[in-house]
Amino acid sequence: MLKSGWIRLWIVLTAALFMSGLVASCIYVWGRDVSYRLVTITIADAATPQDRELAESMKQQATTKTFTGQFQYSPLLTLESLAKRSAVTQISVEWLEPSGWSSRDHDEIDIFNERDIKAAEIIARVSHYVHRARLRRAVFFLVSVIGGSTAVLVLGIGIAWIRRGFATQ
């Protein structure tokens, strides 16, 4: 059955369709930057006046910006420094999923306590949440690509089988 050039071409095209769908899904899930925002920043009551002033300034600045990618932005590093000095006790973060912001559309945020407020930790956890949401969305695409590839392959094998059956008569 595989002696026919058309069947081999059919198999190669089906494999190419499957691989291109797989590559497109990987780029969709891991190839794009994540976006996130700080929702709340809690300042400790016992913070020094200088730390309180800096924390208020960072609160104003950080809660109005959208951060993108793996870059450790200055407000995140400043908040990390303030958390080490116990001036900031808690922050909450929302992230952009394929269907919208996590807090508005899914009622989901992540809360970082004083010891967890590290720029690298925030970025890592947010990236995990975004990649997980994108992967959930990409699964339906991957299933359709696998189903389509299988259907095309079965159709090609069926056509070859029918052609071979008529050729012997």
CB atoms within 10 A of CB 1: 9
Q: 93 phi and psi, to 5 degrees? A: -130, 140
129: closest CA among 155, 105, 94, 161? 94
Please list, residue by residue across 49-61, b when 16 or more beta carbons sit within 10 angstroms of its beta carbon and e when fewer do.
eebbebbeebbee
The pLDDT value recorded for residue 3 is: 63
Cβ contact 96:76 at 8 Å: no
Q: How many CA atoms lie within 13 A of 133 on its CB side?
A: 20
Domain boundaries in the chain?
A: 5-30+136-167, 35-130
- The Cα–Cα gap between 102 and 81 comes to 27
**For 111-156, what is each residue's pLDDT tens digit?**
998 888 899 999 999 999 999 999 988 888 888 888 887 887 788 7
Stated pTM of the model: 0.76
Report the pLDDT averaged over residues 43-55. Answer: 91
- Judged against a pLDDT cut of 60, whether residue 18 lies above it is answered with yes
**For 54-73, what is each residue's pLDDT tens digit?**
999 998 988 899 999 888 88
Please list, residue by residue across 142-169, b when 16 or more beta carbons sit within 10 angstroms of its beta carbon and e when fewer do.
beebeeebeebbeebeeebeeeeeeeee
Judged by phi (left if over 0) then psi (alpha if -120 to 50, else beta), residue 163 lies in alpha
Assign 4 a pLDDT band (cuts: 50, 70, 90): low
- The Cα–Cα gap between 127 and 145 comes to 26
